[in-house]
């Protein structure tokens, strides 16, 4: 199975508690990491989770409230101390570029690797496109520009049935055509029927990250059928007034959103420090959507189709 999994580093909202940290998570796709948000203590949490710093290639920052990016300064300093050479690509609202330059020039500007800063366009849209995965940024409804991220794996070529090539030799160019889904007529007269020579590739999977926002029900169509949805659930529904005032979502609303989006699984997070016990938040989300779970810090969740 091609690795596609998310490790939760922090599930707390703005004020951390003694055992919960601000938002951050590592999405592993094919053993390259996307760091999604980077609250305080993210680097210690990465260490505790035994994730390799060197595999972090991309950072995505949802918005510029401190609980989502204050950990970035420490992490970049650590990369420098560890002798990082590879550039670090950061996707974030534009103002972060200036903040980073200011912070690191204050100490003499001693970052030796490239920080490749890419502003998320105000209207969102596709921000990343590789051979294997693409990422869409989705504007949310918060008190400062804020974006959710939808990661969609691409279709892979068809797989050659190994038992067939063990029995018959076939030229490389024919294998490429078979992988592309074509039937192949060989010069020696053999006809290779695609359905007999290839197997279905794994189905593409998707992951959606949505925090901090009032719940936007229209977004459900954009991420329809997502295999795993992380959605903030800062408050219980009895505190809905507070959720409206601070532009956050309740657990009940997060569950209803997951149901509308036909997600396969919902992880809730970004919990207010007012709740010691998180079980009521999970229960409340489950009243709307049964496959709802607390995004537990330190836990790695495999994204399955
Ligand atoms: Zn927050
Ligand atoms: Zn916020």
- Spacing, Cα 68 to ligand 1 middle (Å): 6
Pair 60, 91: CB distance under 8 Å: yes
Cα of 165 from ligand 2 centre, angstroms:
55
Expressed in angstroms and rounded, the spacing between residue 246 Cα and the centre of ligand 2 is 9
Please give the distance, rounded to the nearest whole angstrom, from the Cα atom of residue 201 to the centre of ligand 1: 38
Structure tokens at 119: 């502003």
Residue tagged active-site, from 37, 67, 212, 239? 67
pLDDT in tens, 168-185: 888 899 999 999 999 999
CATH code: domain 4-156+202-302 is 3.60.15.10
Neighbours of ion ligand 2 (CB under 5 A): 65, 212
* 67 classed as catalytic: yes
Q: Is residue 36 scored above 90 in pLDDT?
A: yes
Q: How many residues does the chain have?
A: 305
Ligand having the closest approach to the CA of 37: 1
On the question of pLDDT at 210 being above 90, the answer is: yes
Instruction: Decide if 136 contacts 221 (C-beta within 8 A).
Output: no
Q: What's the pLDDT tens digit per position in 123-167?
A: 999 999 999 999 999 999 999 999 999 999 999 889 998 888 888
User: In the prediction, which pLDDT does 14 show?
Assistant: 86
Sequence ranges of the domains in the chain: 4-156+202-302, 159-198
Distance 104 CA to ligand 2 centre (A): 24
Average pLDDT over residues 248-268: 98
Q: Looking at the CA of 234, which ligand is closest?
A: 1
Q: At 227, is the pLDDT very low, low, confident or very high (cuts 50, 70, 90)?
A: very high
Three-state DSSP at 235 gives strand
Centroid of ligand 1 to alpha carbon of 178 (angstroms) = 48
For the stretch 136-140, contacts whose Cβ atoms lie closer than 8 Å and that sit 24 or more positions apart, written own/partner, are 136/222, 137/91, 138/210, 138/219, 138/222, 138/223, 140/62, 140/63, 140/210, 140/212, 140/213, 140/216
Which pLDDT belongs to residue 164? 83
Ligand nearest to the CA of 140: 2
Interval 59-94: pLDDT, tens: 999 999 999 999 999 999 999 999 999 999 999 999
C-alpha–C-alpha distance, residues 33 and 116, integer Å: 16
Nearest ligand to the C-alpha atom of residue 246? 2
Distance of CA 89 from the midpoint of ligand 1 (Å): 22
């Amino acid at each position: 199975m091609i690795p596609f999994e998310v490790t939760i580093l922090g599930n707390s909202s703005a004020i951390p508690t003694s055992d919960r940290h601000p938002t951050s998570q590592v999405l592993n796709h094919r053993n390259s990491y996307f760091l999604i948000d980077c609250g305080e203590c993210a680097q210690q949490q990465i260490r505790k989770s035994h994730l390799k710093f060197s595999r972090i290639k991309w950072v995505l920052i949802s918005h510029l409230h401190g609980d989502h990016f204050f950990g970035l300064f420490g992490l970049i300093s650590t990369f420098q101390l560890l002798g990082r050479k590879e550039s670090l690509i950061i996707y974030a609202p534009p103002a972060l570029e200036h903040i980073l330059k200011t912070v690191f020039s204050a100490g003499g500007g001693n970052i030796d690797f490239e920080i490749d800063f890419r502003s998320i366009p105000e209207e969102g849209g596709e921000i990343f496109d590789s051979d294997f995965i693409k990422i869409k940024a989705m504007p949310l409804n918060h008190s400062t520009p804020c974006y959710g991220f939808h990661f969609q794996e691409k279709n892979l070529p068809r797989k050659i049935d190994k038992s067939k090539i063990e029995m018959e030799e076939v030229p490389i160019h024919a294998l490429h055509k078979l992988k592309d889904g074509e039937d192949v007529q060989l010069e020696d007269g053999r006809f290779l029927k695609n359905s007999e020579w290839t197997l279905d590739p794994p189905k593409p999977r998707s992951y959606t990250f949505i925090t901090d926002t009032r719940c936007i029900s229209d977004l459900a169509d954009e991420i329809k059928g997502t295999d795993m949805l992380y959605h903030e659930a800062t408050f219980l529904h009895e505190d809905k007034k507070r959720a409206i005032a601070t532009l956050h979502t309740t657990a009940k609303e997060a569950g209803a959103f997951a149901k509308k989006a036909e997600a396969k699984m919902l992880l809730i997070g970004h919990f207010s420090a007012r709740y010691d016990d998180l079980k009521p938040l999970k229960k409340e989300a489950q009243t709307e959507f049964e496959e709802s779970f607390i995004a537990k810090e330190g836990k790695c969740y495999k994204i399955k189709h």
